[in-house]
Amino acid sequence: MPSGRTHDRITLWSLPWIVLLTLSLTRDGMLTLLVSAAYLFSGLMFGPDLDIYSVQFKRWGGLRWLWIPYQKVLKHRSRLSHGFLIGTVLRVLYLGIILLLVGMVGIAIAQLIGGFAWNWQTSAQQAKLGLSHYRAEAIALFVGLELGAMSHASSDWFGSTAKQVRRKGVGSLFTRKPKKRRKSRRKR
């Protein structure tokens, strides 16, 4: 499995290709910027390795605690963090729910102190309207995030496959692993 630094290098070296590819496909500067920025963000701090104490996790600085429940629930390199689409979808939902909760608490406190008017229904409608209005931009952001995650997951896969070939030879790729026996549950 490549180190955090190798993952960073792969992200940075592949960025110009992502820019060129997106620009040639979309012919749109704004969408290219969004895909590239999301790709960089995903590669450097929003990637699959948030499921472990990693460089990506450390880059969240004072906010890194946000990812502790995520790490507690997911096993490192599980399909739910490293899998195609599902990894990014879950991370986006996870962060979205946390931001929503923080926002709700913040608004509730501000309402108590300042007593300003806030209507959840209107805000939800506005958010929905905004999302439908900026659909292309939202898709571009998601595509960038997913590309960053997939660049990570595929280099993980190449790294461990190369290691296996070096250790056990090419033939080991075609032999089935023996099934692990389930641990018997301890009596409580």
In terms of CB distance, is 11 or 22 closer to Zn ion?
11
> In whole angstroms, how close is the CB of 155 to Zn ion at the nearest point?
8
In terms of CB distance, is 43 or 48 closer to Zn ion?
48
φ, ψ of residue 117 to 5 degrees: the values are -80, 135
In terms of CB distance, is 47 or 144 closer to Zn ion?
47
> In whole angstroms, how close is the CB of 45 to Zn ion at the nearest point?
13
> In whole angstroms, how close is the CB of 143 to Zn ion at the nearest point?
20
In terms of CB distance, is 28 or 156 closer to Zn ion?
156
CA dist., res. 157 & res. 182, Å (int): 25
Positions that interact with Zn ion (CB under 5 A) = 48-49, 156
Neighbour-count burial of 76, counting CB atoms closer than 10 A to its CB (0-12 exposed, 13-18 middle, 19+ buried): middle
> In whole angstroms, how close is the CB of 176 to Zn ion at the nearest point?
24
CA dist., res. 37 & res. 51, Å (int): 22
What are the tokens at 142?
């998601």
- How far CA 10 is from CA of 17, 40, 100, 102, 122, in Å, comes to 11, 11, 33, 34, 43
